[in-house]
Amino acid sequence: MNRDPDRHKLFTRRAAFLAGGQAILMTALAGRLYYLQVVEADRYATLADENRINLRLLAPPRGRVLDRFGTPLAENQQNYRLQLVPEDVKSSDIEQVLEHARQIVTLTDSDLRRIIREVRRNRAFVPITLRENLSWSEVARIEINAPDLPGLVIDVGRARRYPYGPVVAHVLGYVAAVSETDLDNDPLLKLPGFRVGRAGVERVHDLELRGTGGSSEVEVNAFGRMIRELSRREGQPGADVMLTLDVGLQEYIVKRLGEESASVVVMDVLTGDVLAMVSNPAYDSNDFNRGLSTKEWQALVSDQRTPLINKSIAGVYSPGSTFKMIVLLAALEKGVISADQKIHCCGDYELGDAKFHCWKRHGHGFVNAREALTESCDVYFYEIAKRTGIDRIAAMARKFGLDAPTGIDLPGEKDGLIPTRDWKRASRNEPWHQGETVIAGIGQGYVLTTPVQLALMTARIANGGRAITPHLTRAVGEQATQRLSPTEIPSINVSPSHLAIVIDGMNRVVNHATGTARRSATHIEGFPMAGKTGTVQVRRITKAERDQGVRKNEDLPWKFRDHALFVGFAPVENPRYAVSVVVEHGGGGSSTAAPIARDVLMEAHRRNSVGPGAAIAERAPSRKPAQGMAKDATSARQQTRTVPDVGD
Amino acid sequence: MRSTLSTPELTLGRKLFTMNWFLVLLITAVASVGFAMLYSAADGSTQPWAERQMVRYGVALGIMIVIATIDVRLWLRYAYPLYFVALALLAAVEVAGYVGMGAQRWISLGMINIQPSELMKIFLVLALARYYHASAIEDIGSISRLFVPLLLIAAPAVFILRQPDLGTAIMVVMTGAAVLFLAGVRVWKFVLVGIAGLAAAPIAWQFLHEYQKKRVLTFLDPETDPLGASYHIIQSKIALGSGGLMGKGFMQGPQSHLHFLPEMQTDFIFTMLAEEMGLVGAIGLLILYIMIIAFGVYIAIRSRNQFGRLVAGGITTTFFLYVFINIAMVTGLIPVVGVPLPLVSYGGTVMMTLMIGFGLLIGVGVHRDVPVGRRGEAEGM
């Protein structure tokens, strides 16, 4: 132990060495701290904020859709949801609470399984939706029983509601969950539960209706629970869209059509405002928002009356005799015939080997232009069509808005078709036959139109050849849609005297003793209707069927019966309303379509849908559906059905 | 018993008077920083941590002072028995210990649960100090004289590794190595063992648990898996870095209080301190630690007996290792190896280990002039 001083020296040396090493390591720690807290401080400060600050989007309320008088057609309804907050109830009691809840609201076994699954999967503070769209009485009963239902809360959300359901479904469309293809730069679309317009006005004006999202900066903890709101920026609510529709007229038309598979379009001839656009039958937009069951969907898809298709813009039909105004105008403009020049109709028309029949078997005798329209003489139009030539007829048709989309503010509009020589060569690689011109002369053959095109054509005839276009949007937000005043609308350059002849002919169709629609006169002083009937053969009655006793259209199965068409306007002097009626497989234009058109125009007149000038917006909307009128109209229609077909 | 061991001139009053009270003050200062941090970690409440920690510290402080008055020769005499008791407890953990946090570390002794690996940190130092106290300086160089100390280190290290507790095992090995170094074992032997260790590393890798491997891999490349294993390191660095020079203020650290920091009351409490008090507070605490270590080295060098020197040096090194490993871990310098920040982190066992250690350290200072025989008898010569 005498060597202890040596050991002490050695120890001291070693201890100094070790302490030096420790000092170096401590310095390294200090250096590391300096690096993290001073050199890199800004970077970590940013990372820290990203950690704890969440930007949450606030969905703006979707704009409403209003009719021309301000009646809401699409609005946001409070959606009461029953939610369970798992952390507010002991996990052992959850089943019991659900059992209690079950006595108040219906919860299926699969609902329960879903809820239990979500309780396990989510963090305890995330509310789980048990049921949506609670009724008021359910909400009240839950509130009263609140002490027995720990963890259950009522949450209020917004849901799209369409108070008129199927009445305006095809115009409005519907909203649905965002799909992959909808995603653009708008972060709103990524919000869970966000809805976008999927069809109709909801789709066309989706951006305006949607508004812009607000945002809320919230501080969250490591588990994502919101601690507090740091700042909030309110979004811009979606703009209300006001339509040109008169929902009262729309309702009336739906009632009037009943079970028919049909389209009715009513248009203001001076402005192009679409006052009514009904495609019957329709779906209920609310069902789409709620979500359809497979069965419901199948029922819609398989219905042969095609409730999913907006027939007004996407149904294409041969215009039949309603096309005769165009043919007559083309002939008059070309000068192949004068208004008073007569053509003899003996009931049929021969062209080469082919024989074309007039609907009147024994013929009309000698008819001039007005008489030909009045009685819808086919032979007259065969002849003038042949004289005019298909290309001139097509050119005239285009002036009246056929052969192209009318440009109405709805998605999915069809073109229709007016054939020309070039078209046939290009599409079928075949030369044009004169017989095809002849058959086009009565609006059959290749000629195809949509109901909205027919309404536009009629409106342009009625307004003296002004190139109005149909539209549904009256205003978006505070901004009224930019529109030309009636005098600024360009003319389509058709001789006024020729138009006068056509209008006179159309007047006689309804108001002359020989007219095909003489039973459909309005009999209202100052509001007479003019128009043109059309009956379009869907399929010829075959020889075999004739042998089996099928003589009349009514004896055929529904889907082989003729389409009934009518186009018209009223009043004859200074017209305001144009209408097109297409009843699929409805029988005769004069027996089925014309009475509908008359009733619709009378209702529009009664409601004064256009309104006197600028004061219309202030007028309180008449919400009472015209119950009495509907009944009268129905009985009137039944009467017309019982009389023998006038035909055309 | 004390009366027979104490030299007549070293009365209890004298011992208390010569005790290094400034070191006690420093220790209390660091512990108080801990109380403040635990108060903050509980969002401004003494529950559930700060109050219990204060009570523990009070008890441990008393124990420390009592230990400081016990004659070092008594410790020398019982160094081996204490070591073997601790080793037996470690073996018992292997058999009967219960699993906490995925590792088997605790053993229940009636009322209290103890962690034998913590006791071993102290008793290994005592055992090694006793061994070298009895060795003549010329014997230290011989290879055969290395056999017993290496066995003394390896036996507990293996048990602790099997628990598995890599952090504590490393600390035990490094503490033992430090005592050997201080005792005068040649530097080249450490180099040799170091090289051998590096060579054995791939084999040792095989024996690591999956979570330990993951932690090492995460340390090597923390960005690979930001929400998985490296979450702790990344969140810790973000909290530290965002604290900046002056910090977010007491109880104002958003990262800590929003629970982005894991285990902020234990292993990651330094991060919270650095976030709330900034670089200034972190360096301040580091300086307190350095002062304690400096006192430890001072006491070691001043002791007139080898046993006291080695005990003081070993304990000081253990304390340094706690501080360094914890801070290096939370600043992302080394992998995450569950080592708490001494005197600050919440936890009773580590507190007790440390305070027993400090009691021994101060005791070495108090008894610096006591002559110590080879076996702990009062040396007559």
Nearest Cα neighbor of B152 from B79, B208, B97, B92 is: B79
Rounded to whole angstroms, the Cα distance separating A559 from A557 reads: 6
* More confidently predicted of A497 and B380: A497
Q: Are B94 and B105 in contact (CB under 8 A)?
A: no
pLDDT band per the 50, 70, 90 thresholds, residue A58: confident
Domain boundaries, chain B: 2-366
pLDDT band per the 50, 70, 90 thresholds, residue B230: low
- Alpha carbon of A215 to those of A57, A159, A187, A210, B381: distances in Å? 4, 20, 11, 15, 85
Rounded to whole angstroms, the Cα distance separating A454 from A443 reads: 12
Give bridge partners of residue B99 from the DSSP assignment: B104
To test the contact with chain B by mutation, choose from A4, A11, A37, A217 the residue with the greatest count of B C-beta atoms within 10 A, namely A37
- For position B235, what pLDDT does the model report? 82
Tell whether the model's pLDDT for residue A253 goes beyond 90: yes
Kindly identify which residue of chain A lies nearest to residue B374, measuring between CA atoms: A1
Fold that domain A56-243 belongs to in CATH: Penicillin-binding protein 2a (Domain 2) (3.90.1310)
Rounded to whole angstroms, the Cα distance separating B260 from B295 reads: 37
CB contact under 8 A, A51 and B243: no
Please list every residue in chain A whose beta carbon sits closer than 8 Å to the beta carbon of residue B289. Answer: 26
Judged on CB neighbours under 10 Å (0-12, 13-18, 19+), A353 is: exposed
pLDDT digits (tens, 9 = 90+) for B270-280: 999 999 999 99
CB contact under 8 A, B243 and A37: yes
pLDDT band per the 50, 70, 90 thresholds, residue B219: low
CB-nearest to A11 from B182, B240, B254 is B182
Q: Are A275 and A249 in contact (CB under 8 A)?
A: yes
A186 Cβ contact list (under 8 Å, min separation 6): A210, A213
CB-nearest to A48 from B255, B293, B304 is B255
- CA triple A586-A587-A589, angle to 5 deg: 95
Section B225-248 average pLDDT: 76
Rg (CA), chain A: 36
Considering chain A, what percentage of its residues have pLDDT values greater than 90?
Answer: 51
Shortest CA gap B268–chain A (Å): 14
Tell whether the model's pLDDT for residue B293 goes beyond 80: yes
Interface of A with B (CB under 8 A): 1, 3-4, 6-8, 10-12, 14-15, 18-19, 22-23, 25-26, 28-30, 32-34, 36-38, 40-41, 43-45, 47-48, 51-52, 219-223, 227
pLDDT digits (tens, 9 = 90+) for A480-501: 777 777 778 888 889 999 999 9
pLDDT band per the 50, 70, 90 thresholds, residue B99: low
Return the H-helix or E-strand segment holding B289.
helix B269-302
* More confidently predicted of A4 and A560: A560
Kindly identify which residue of chain B lies nearest to residue A14, measuring between CA atoms: B182
Torsion region of A407: left, alpha or beta (phi above 0 gives left; psi -120 to 50 gives alpha): left
Return the structure tokens found at B3: 């009366």
Give bridge partners of residue A405 from the DSSP assignment: none
Which pairing describes strands A53-58 and A241-243: parallel, antiparallel, or unpaired?
Answer: unpaired
Please list every residue in chain B whose beta carbon sits closer than 8 Å to the beta carbon of residue A52. Answer: 254-255, 258, 260
pLDDT band per the 50, 70, 90 thresholds, residue B129: very high
Kindly identify which residue of chain A lies nearest to residue B260, measuring between CA atoms: A222
- For position B199, what pLDDT does the model report? 83
Section B334-353 average pLDDT: 87
Tell me which DSSP letter residue B342 carries: T
Tell whether the model's pLDDT for residue A256 goes beyond 50: yes
Residue type, B68: A
Please list every residue in chain A whose beta carbon sits closer than 8 Å to the beta carbon of residue B311. Answer: none
CA atoms within 13 A on the CB side of B165: 27
Shortest CA gap A6–chain B (Å): 8
Q: Are A87 and A128 in contact (CB under 8 A)?
A: no
Section A192-220 average pLDDT: 85
Considering chain B, what percentage of its residues have pLDDT values greater than 70?
Answer: 87
CB contact under 8 A, B279 and A45: no
Specify the domain boundaries for CATH 3.40.710.10 within chain A: 247-474+483-642
Rounded to whole angstroms, the Cα distance separating B315 from B175 reads: 8
Shortest CA gap A41–chain B (Å): 5
What does chain A come to in residues? 648
**How many other CB atoms are found less than 10 A from the CB of residue A545?**
15
Residues of A annotated catalytic, as ranges? 321
pLDDT digits (tens, 9 = 90+) for B300-310: 999 999 999 99
pLDDT digits (tens, 9 = 90+) for A82-101: 888 887 787 777 888 888 88
Mean pLDDT, chain A, integer: 85
Nearest Cα neighbor of B271 from B327, B217, B337 is: B327
CB contact under 8 A, A47 and B238: yes
Rounded to whole angstroms, the Cα distance separating A465 from A472 reads: 21
CATH (residue range A247-474+483-642): 3.40.710.10
Please list every residue in chain A whose beta carbon sits closer than 8 Å to the beta carbon of residue B184. Answer: 7, 10-11, 14
> What string of H, E and C letters represents the secondary structure of A614-647?
HHHHHCCCCCCCCHHHHHHHHHHHHHHHHCCCCC
Please list every residue in chain A whose beta carbon sits closer than 8 Å to the beta carbon of residue B294. Answer: 19
Q: Are A63 and A240 in contact (CB under 8 A)?
A: yes
Section A603-623 average pLDDT: 57
Q: Are A277 and A168 in contact (CB under 8 A)?
A: no
As a dihedral over the C-alpha atoms of residue A185, residue A188, residue A193, residue A196, rounded to 10 degrees, the angle is -70
Rounded to whole angstroms, the Cα distance separating A372 from A70 reads: 44
- For position B218, what pLDDT does the model report? 63
Return the structure tokens found at A466: 């002004």
Return the structure tokens found at B160: 């602790």
- For position A59, what pLDDT does the model report? 82
Q: Are A394 and A337 in contact (CB under 8 A)?
A: no
CB-nearest to A18 from B237, B259, B317 is B317
Section A274-298 average pLDDT: 88
Nearest Cα neighbor of B172 from B223, B226, B124 is: B124
Rounded to whole angstroms, the Cα distance separating B210 from A385 reads: 91
To test the contact with chain B by mutation, choose from A33, A35, A228 the residue with the greatest count of B C-beta atoms within 10 A, namely A33
Section B168-194 average pLDDT: 89
Alpha-carbon torsion (A378, A382, A388, A389), positive or negative:
positive
CB contact under 8 A, A41 and B320: no
Residue type, A586: G
pLDDT band per the 50, 70, 90 thresholds, residue A392: very high
pLDDT digits (tens, 9 = 90+) for A342-357: 999 998 899 888 889 9
Give bridge partners of residue A84 from the DSSP assignment: A128, A152
Tell me which DSSP letter residue A38 carries: I
Kindly identify which residue of chain B lies nearest to residue A8, measuring between CA atoms: B306
Nearest Cα neighbor of B354 from B106, B181, B134, B171 is: B171
Q: Are A535 and A292 in contact (CB under 8 A)?
A: no
- Candidate from A227-231, A571-575, B226-230 with smallest mean pLDDT: B226-230
Considering chain A, what percentage of its residues have pLDDT values greater than 70?
Answer: 91
To test the contact with chain B by mutation, choose from A3, A7, A27 the residue with the greatest count of B C-beta atoms within 10 A, namely A7
CB contact under 8 A, A1 and B282: no
pLDDT band per the 50, 70, 90 thresholds, residue A542: low
* More confidently predicted of A59 and A567: A567
CB-nearest to A29 from B184, B243, B328 is B328
Nearest Cα neighbor of A535 from A598, A587, A581 is: A587
Shortest CA gap A122–chain B (Å): 18
Section B93-115 average pLDDT: 63
- For position A124, what pLDDT does the model report? 75
Kindly identify which residue of chain B lies nearest to residue A19, measuring between CA atoms: B297
- Candidate from A163-177, A502-516, A576-590, B93-107 with smallest mean pLDDT: B93-107
To test the contact with chain B by mutation, choose from A34, A36, A43 the residue with the greatest count of B C-beta atoms within 10 A, namely A36
CB contact under 8 A, A11 and B181: no
A100 Cβ contact list (under 8 Å, min separation 6): A145, A148, A149
Rounded to whole angstroms, the Cα distance separating B92 from B95 reads: 5
Reduced to 3 states (helix: H, G, I; strand: E, B; else coil), residue B19 is coil
State the distance between the two ends of chain A, measured CA to CA, in whole angstroms: 139
Rounded to whole angstroms, the Cα distance separating A370 from A497 reads: 13
Mean pLDDT, chain B, integer: 84
Please list every residue in chain A whose beta carbon sits closer than 8 Å to the beta carbon of residue B320. Answer: 22
Give bridge partners of residue A2 from the DSSP assignment: none
Tell whether the model's pLDDT for residue A620 goes beyond 50: no
Which pairing describes strands A563-570 and A577-583: parallel, antiparallel, or unpaired?
Answer: antiparallel
Return the structure tokens found at B258: 């929003």
In this predicted complex, what is the ipTM?
Answer: 0.90
**Cβ–Cβ pairs < 8 A, chains A and B:** 140
CB contact under 8 A, B300 and A38: no
